[in-house]
């Protein structure tokens, strides 16, 4: 059974940090390039970061230098460390396989506000 379960979101002040986690099952995690996406109200879902099976990462220009994506294949989990958060980072964050999109999880809400 395919499951993608995101967690770790919350309310944080500008400049703060959060670490998101995504536990995956049923997708052959070790063989998948994984990605984080986000969707703000009224906007389309956008790609934020990705990590290949051998750990190569790519980031959207808007988060480069602030976000770090990592993975733990033993736990079938992908992480997104978010530092120096800005109000424009406010969105629901989702993970999925980058090239084989599976049913989306519920996402985790990140709100950056003072």
Predicted pLDDT at 101: 82
Q: Which residue, among 21, 26, 33, has the nearest Cα to 3 in the 3D structure?
A: 26
Confidence of residue 2 (pLDDT cuts 50, 70, 90): very high
For the chain, what percentages of helix, strand and coil (3-state, to nearest 5) are there?
10, 50, 45
What's the alpha-carbon Rg for the chain, to the nearest Å? 13
Predicted pLDDT at 100: 79
Let me know: does 95 contact 82? Beta carbons within 8 Å.
no
Average pLDDT over residues 38-48: 96
pLDDT digits (tens, 9 = 90+) for 23-34: 999 999 999 999
Does residue 113 carry a pLDDT above 90?
A: yes
Predicted pLDDT at 69: 98
pLDDT digits (tens, 9 = 90+) for 45-100: 999 999 999 999 999 999 999 999 999 999 999 999 999 999 999 999 999 999 97
């Amino acid at each position: 059974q395919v499951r993608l379960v995101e967690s770790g979101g919350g309310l944080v002040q500008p400049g703060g940090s959060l670490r998101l986690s995504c536990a995956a099952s049923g997708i052959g995690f070790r063989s998948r390039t994984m990605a984080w996406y986000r969707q703000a109200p009224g906007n389309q879902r956008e790609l934020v970061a990705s990590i290949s099976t051998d750990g190569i990462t790519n980031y959207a220009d808007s988060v480069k230098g602030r976000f770090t994506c990592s993975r733990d294949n033993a736990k079938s989990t992908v992480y997104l460390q978010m530092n120096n958060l800005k109000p424009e980072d406010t969105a629901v964050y989702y993970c999925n396989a980058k090239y084989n999109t599976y049913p989306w999880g519920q996402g985790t809400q990140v709100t950056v506000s003072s």
